Amino acid sequence: MKYGILGIGQAGLRHFEAFKKIKKLELIGFIENNLSKAKSFEKKFKVKHCKKLKDLLLLKPSFIVLSLPHNQRAIPIIACIKKDINLLIEKPLAKNSDELKKILPYLNRKKLTHSISFVHRYRKEVLKTNKLIQTNKIGKIKFISEMMISQKNPLLPRWIDNKNISGGGVLMYNAVHSIDKLIFITKSKIIKVFATYNNINNGIAVEDTITAILTFKNGVVANLLAVFAPYKNNSIWETKIFGEKGCIDLKIREGLEIHTNSNSKIYSYSDHYNKFGTYHNFYLQAQSYIAALSKKNKPFVNISDGIDNVKIVDAIYKSIQFKKSINVI
């Protein structure tokens, strides 16, 4: 099987390293606008640097990993689908709902296997949490507290602070993963949001903090807090899930604890991460996507998950703008 990559920034390289571990899979071409980076990658890995998308498509890849900046995705998505190319698209699917409208008519036009890189679904602690919930270990979920706090890495590309390119700040870059994780573990759609923010760094045009109340169709209520601090802090990504019979405290890259009146148990995944590394979930995603392509099955993360995520993010930004609750349409 052959594939291509659009964009070899931080995310693109993580995808490359993941797919490189899969046998009988060949990267046949890539696109990168940074010529210095492109030349280095081409020389090191002996992979063709294509100047234009049409040149890459002529190589007839089975799929393409799309990891370009947020505002540069609509045109390549449409072009690839027209040529019957399957896509693994970095989150988010689109910069905003206007961009989404451009690609929606194409996404389900043909029987192709598209997926969105909500890569944290593949983490062992998330999958274990999902299994505990689905087997009714804590009863019906009532409330979730989701906290995602980190230092903004100064090595991240500058375009993430340009709203015209990124579409937004910490919500678009980080918290979209939280939203996807919450939908995954609740098995329900978000139908209403209320949100606000107050920037720490007033020198940027996108939000670096955000808090939102998310209401789910099945009655679950969740509070989402995301912070992209411009200085060192005690970074944490923690999800506290409260059910009718007990609760689960999930910490990404660490493990989870489950507590009920009759029992408590700790699941630690530190050995897993020490053995396989922090980004092993990219490899698990790559395996899963190749399996879906081979069997022509729906991928673990479906294109509809990406569509819903864009609509939810759009509603959150509208809630901030109009200072009221917004229904997710």
Q: Please report the pLDDT score of residue 296 as a whole number.
A: 85
Residue 213 belongs to what H/E stretch? strand 209-216
Spell 128-154 as b/e; 16+ CB within 10 A means b: bbbebbeeebbeebeebbbbbbbebee
Q: Please report the pLDDT score of residue 155 as a whole number.
A: 86
Q: Check whether 110 has a pLDDT greater than 80.
A: no
Residues 243 and 142: beta-carbon distance below 8 Å: yes
Q: What is the pLDDT of residues 124-142, one digit of tens each?
A: 999 999 999 999 999 999 9
Q: Which domain holds residue 51?
A: 2-119
Domain end: 98, 119, 140, which one? 119
CATH number, position 102:
3.40.50.720
Do 167 and 180 share a structural domain? yes
Work out the percent of the chain whose per-residue pLDDT is above 70: 100
Do 95 and 16 share a structural domain? yes
Do 233 and 296 share a structural domain? yes
Q: Check whether 280 has a pLDDT greater than 90.
A: yes
CATH number, position 176:
3.30.360.10
Q: What is the pLDDT of residues 50-90, one digit of tens each?
A: 999 999 999 999 999 999 999 999 999 999 999 999 999 99
Do 306 and 184 share a structural domain? yes
Strands 255-260 and 246-251: antiparallel
- Indicate the pTM of the whole model: 0.96
Q: What is the pLDDT of residues 165-223, one digit of tens each?
A: 999 999 999 999 999 999 999 999 999 999 999 999 999 999 999 999 999 999 999 99
Do 291 and 147 share a structural domain? yes
Do 161 and 13 share a structural domain? no
Q: Please report the pLDDT score of residue 154 as a whole number.
A: 87
How many structural domains are present in the chain?
Answer: 2
Domain end: 75, 91, 119, which one? 119
Do 199 and 68 share a structural domain? no
HSE, side-chain direction, 13 A CA sphere, residue 51: 0
